[in-house]
Amino acid sequence: MKSFSSDTGIQKIKLPEAGRIEFSDAKEGGLILRVSPRGKTWYLIFRPPGVKHPRRIKIGPYGSGGDGSKSFGLLQARRKAQDWKESLRAGDDPRSEANAAKARMKTDYAGTVERFLTQYVERNLARNTYLQYSGILRSDLLKTWRSRPIHKITRADVISVLDDIAESGRLVQANRTLAVLRKFFGWCAEKDLIPVDGLLPTDRVKPPLKKEQARKRTLSDPEIMVFWRACGQLGSPFGVYFQFLLATGQRRSEAANMVRSDIKEGVWTQTDNKAGRTHLLPLSDLAQSLLEKLPRAARSKLYFTTNDKTPIQGQSKVKQRLDAEIHKLIGEDSELFQEPWQIHDLRRTFTTRLRQLGIGQDVCSSLLNHAAKGVTAQHYDQYQMMPEKSHAMKVWGSFLESLLSDKCANVIGFNRA
């Protein structure tokens, strides 16, 4: 068995694609680090006096252990192992402490959320949906619930949270939060974690926004030109990221999580997306040229990253900077961008312009990776429409390049980014 002697050595251990590997601590006998695709976990292997077979006891996940975290760094894991070995020598079972903690985790809100995410969301829903659910259920808006027993969260608590979100102007987000909480408390009732003889905390709670209006906002041609130039002012990686979204029409999270091995011979193969199915997207020359602008670190598999380790985050906040750059370019009296726009509007602009350029709706739907309707389309027709999609992306790339040419850009008084 391989060993380690420092946190630095542990951090260098890469997660395997499958199976699990165990490493021993070079200093603390019996302390084991199990490494699997899901992460790194501490275990103690110890044989008390008079016991024939050694015991394996889970200590917890590897991590910094700071700020109240339930993870353990190397020094913390060593101290825990030493304490538990003393208990075992004295005839006590430290697992009683661990079991008590597990019991609390099963009944309080924070622990129940983790069970819900692991046992239901992660198993049954797409990764993007998992991120949405976890973001809502773990958010600071619900931090006062974290240590509360799940059965003591009331309808009044739910309404209070929704009112706080709505009063901040985020009515749609309030609706999304209610939808996730309904699913969560429904699952709790199925698991008999809360009484089912009465109302659930989300029953008879009305969405703060009674009717959500479908957005129809698209960017006009002059707005596309301004947007592209402003992205150039942002620089890499965020400026290129926003341009790439418009050039491909893909979802923001799917682009952010894209790794270099996903693209081969000009085709982006998505295996982890909202739809939960493999999506093949031919990239135009323009889209490929954008990726070539990104700096490449030898140790990073990601395209869009600021630290070479994790995908970019905080796109909504960066959009505020992008909006500022846009208004610097157009001034206060411009008719452009009078109507607010959202990042998802780039995807709608992509689709609408392709339809105007003569691309069929079925091809656009395939490019967006939308689910086809009907038994034949869903279960029998496996055609990927690669020639049609390649043509569409070429048409879109050529359109953007023509629109962004120096000649066109001079119409609104600035040169091509």
Summarised one tens digit per residue, pLDDT across range 20-69 is 999 999 888 889 999 998 899 999 988 776 777 787 888 889 986 554 45
pLDDT category at 406 given cuts 50, 70, 90 is: low
**pLDDT value at 400 more than 90:** yes
Of 74-88, 110-124, 337-351, which gets the smallest average pLDDT? Answer: 74-88
Q: Is the pLDDT of residue 345 over 90?
A: yes
What angle is formed at CA 417 by the lines to CA 312 and CA 242, rounded to 5 degrees? 25
The number of beta carbons lying within 10 Å of the beta carbon of residue 254 is 22
Q: Tell me the three state secondary structure of residue 30.
A: coil
Report the SS3 class of residue 268.
strand
Q: Give the pLDDT band of residue 416 (cuts 50, 70, 90).
A: very low
Q: Which has the minimum average pLDDT: 219-228, 294-303, 338-347? A: 294-303
Digit-coded pLDDT (tens) for 45-58: 887 767 777 878 88
Confidence class of residue 413 from pLDDT cuts 50, 70 and 90?
low
Say what the pLDDT of residue 105 is. 47
pTM (whole model) above 0.75 = no
Q: What is the pLDDT of residues 180-191, one digit of tens each?
A: 999 999 999 888
CA distances from 384 to 237, 273, 372, 376 (A): 31, 16, 12, 14
Average pLDDT, the chain: 86
- Name residue 268's beta-bridge partners: 263, 281
Three state DSSP letters for the chain = CCEECCHHHHHCCCCCCCCCEEEEECCCCCEEEEEECCEEEEEEEECCCCCCCCEEEEEEEECCCCCCCCCECHHHHHHHHHHHHHHHHCCCCCHHHHHHHHHHHHHEHHHHHHHHHHHHHHHHCCHHHHHHHHHHHCCHHHHHHCCCEHHHCCHHHHHHHHHHHHHCCCHHHHHHHHHHHHHHHHHHHHCCCCCCCCCCCCCCCCCCCCCCCCCCCCCCHHHHHHHHHHHHHHCCCHHHHHHHHHHHCCCHHHHHCCEHHHEECCEEEECCCCCCCCEEEECCHHHHHHHHCCCCCCCCCECCECCCCCECCCHHHHHHHHHHHHHHHHCCCCCCCCCCCCCCHHHHHHHHHHHHCCCCHHHHHHHCCCCCCCHHHHHHCCCCCHHHHHHHHHHHHHHHHHHCCHHHHHHHCCCCC
The whole-angstrom separation of Cα 261 and Cα 250 is 18
* pLDDT at 209 exceeding the cut of 70: yes
- Sorted by where each starts, the structural domains of the chain and their CATH numbers stand as 2-92 (3.30.160.390), 107-191 (1.10.150), 221-408 (1.10.443.10)
